[in-house]
Amino acid sequence: MSILSPKKIEIKENNLWHRENELAKMPVWQKLWHHAEILANANLYEMCDEPGRFEACHLKLDELIFDFSRQKINHETMGLFSELAELCGLKVAIDQMFSGEKINHTENRAVKHWLLRSPDADLPKAVLAERNKLFEIAEKIRVSEITDVVNLGIGGSDLGPVMVAEALKPYWDTDISVHFVSNIDPAALDDVLNKCRPESTLFIVSSKSFTTEETLENMTRAKQWLSECLNKPIQSEELNNCFYAVTAKSESAQKYHIHPDHILSIWDWVGGRYSVWSSIGLPLVILLGKNQFIEFLAGAHAVDTHFCNTPWHQNIPVMMALLGVWQNNFFEAHTQAVIPYSDRLKYFTNYLQQLDMESNGKSVDTQGRNIDYATGAVVWGGVGTNVQHAFFQLLHQSKLPIQLDFIMPILAEKSEHQSTQNKLIANGLGQLKAFVEGQSGNSKPANFMEGNKPSNVFFIKKLSPKNMGMLIACYEHKVFTQGVIWNLNSFDQPGVELGKKLAEGVLEAVTHNAKTDNLTAQAIQLLNSWVK
């Protein structure tokens, strides 16, 4: 029986999402525990050596291949995976998200970032008008005499654009230099401004709420820099025209003297970490041009269609999610190393950290109950082959179970570099082989490597705008699927908000001697002695 022909299991579909039944008490969860105990002692090398293993254990969508042949799974696992997805209400959850229901129940919001990558014909008039305004503003900037654009944003207003900009550098179609500043650390903005010509620099202030402290502080400092360099009043029209805003709070941006014609809108149904498809992508449209940005959107839309319409065992994001649950909850692999064999993807792991850990780093389910099972994994990693000379020692010989995702573009950017690209690919494939096979320590025990370590790999024909959109969307829907299985709201982030709220009180203590807790007060007293 093919591994991708799951064992038939009688399933009664669950028509409720945000379910009342507790995951750990579900019979299918108990069956997975028993099944995991059996496969824990399986020899991965022997499983991978089975005839037809790769053919049975990979999924292809256009120029993406998701290969999970190096996982400890069989046809029974696949059947249990499908049962779990059905009984957790995944089909209902997908239908609810794509029909615009308010599945972000804690904030009473719909989740419709997927709409932003739909074709023009499928867009509501307001969304289409905003997309057209985005393209018009970007083109106006592209044909101007602007030399530098500085994007001021943090979190989703920075991680998506900066990651995609670097990934698609060969597709840049402008002489404009685009810079990204997120940190409130003064050095971050200073280092960028030192590269810019003040008389031909524009700033994009990206903040959904237009209350983000780091972003507003950097905007204030940018205005001071322009005022001093151009010898113009800080609120002069000439200076204000150097600023654009992307926000859901247009009136707040206007209070900072940004002209309405320079303001692009996003909606409350677009989460920050899902906003690269929106006007938050303005820096990308400037760099890539309209047509290539549309290709980027089209790639993500292709994955949306695949995600909505494909059976679970052939569905790339769903399989990614189920394999992650399998390792996290049943094999105690609570961290995930993401290793792109592409220097262009140097920021991809940073992007996934917010996407995954801000979404599913939760300890309370949708019913308000404390969870007694592992949820979001700790995401980390780095670029191969660099990391082979760093943390791969731990990956190969440590007893820590770690989820492994490899990402491998196959074609070099320039055809004359393909032989070198082949060496890069060979390094990655060699590591995948080593994680399965290990190494005997017969002659020297210190050289023993157990092997038998599962992994996934994405093969990508090349890093094109369309393929980049597809890759990101696969991980987005993976995170959503895991949130459904773990019974979480993947679209709020109260842990982020708490730290920001407490920082306000600490700032008052630092600057105005406001009362705070004893420990913080003593630290401030010491630090103030340095400042003085």
- The residues annotated with a catalytic role in the active site are 358, 389, 500
- Indicate the DSSP class of residue 411: S
Q: Can you tell me the distance from the alpha carbon of 120 to that of 128, in angstroms, rounded to the nearest whole number? A: 6
CB 348 within 8 A of CB 506: no
Distances (CA, A) of 128 to 132, 137, 278, 285: 6, 14, 11, 16
Q: Work out the burial of residue 231: count CB atoms within 10 Å of its CB; fewer than 13 is exposed, 13-18 middle, 19 or more buried.
A: exposed
Phi, psi of 368 (to 5 degrees): 80, 15
Sign for the CA dihedral angle at 473, 477, 479, 480 comes to: positive
Task: Give the dihedral of Cα atoms 229, 233, 238, 242; nearest 10 deg.
Answer: 60
DSSP string, 351-374: HHIIIIIIHH--SB-TTSPBP-S-
Q: Can you tell me the distance from the alpha carbon of 507 to that of 66, in angstroms, rounded to the nearest whole number? A: 47
Task: Give the dihedral of Cα atoms 198, 199, 201, 206; nearest 10 deg.
Answer: 80
Q: Work out the burial of residue 28: count CB atoms within 10 Å of its CB; fewer than 13 is exposed, 13-18 middle, 19 or more buried.
A: buried
Nearest to residue 503, comparing CAs of 489, 524, 485? Answer: 524
Q: How far apart are the first and last CA of the chain?
A: 75
Q: Can you tell me the distance from the alpha carbon of 266 to that of 272, in angstroms, rounded to the nearest whole number? A: 10
- Indicate the DSSP class of residue 260: G
CB neighbourhood size of 49 (10 A): 11
- CA-atom Rg of the chain in angstroms: 25
Half-sphere exposure of 530 (CA within 13 A, CB side): 5
What letter represents residue 209's amino acid?
S
Sign for the CA dihedral angle at 482, 360, 467, 268 comes to: positive
H/E segment holding residue 205: strand 201-206
Strand partners of residue 404: 337
Q: Can you tell me the distance from the alpha carbon of 261 to that of 243, in angstroms, rounded to the nearest whole number? A: 11
Q: Can you tell me the distance from the alpha carbon of 528 to that of 505, in angstroms, rounded to the nearest whole number? A: 16
Strand partners of residue 325: none
Q: Can you tell me the distance from the alpha carbon of 350 to that of 268, in angstroms, rounded to the nearest whole number? A: 24
Residues, the chain? 532
CB 114 within 8 A of CB 278: no
CB 463 within 8 A of CB 63: no
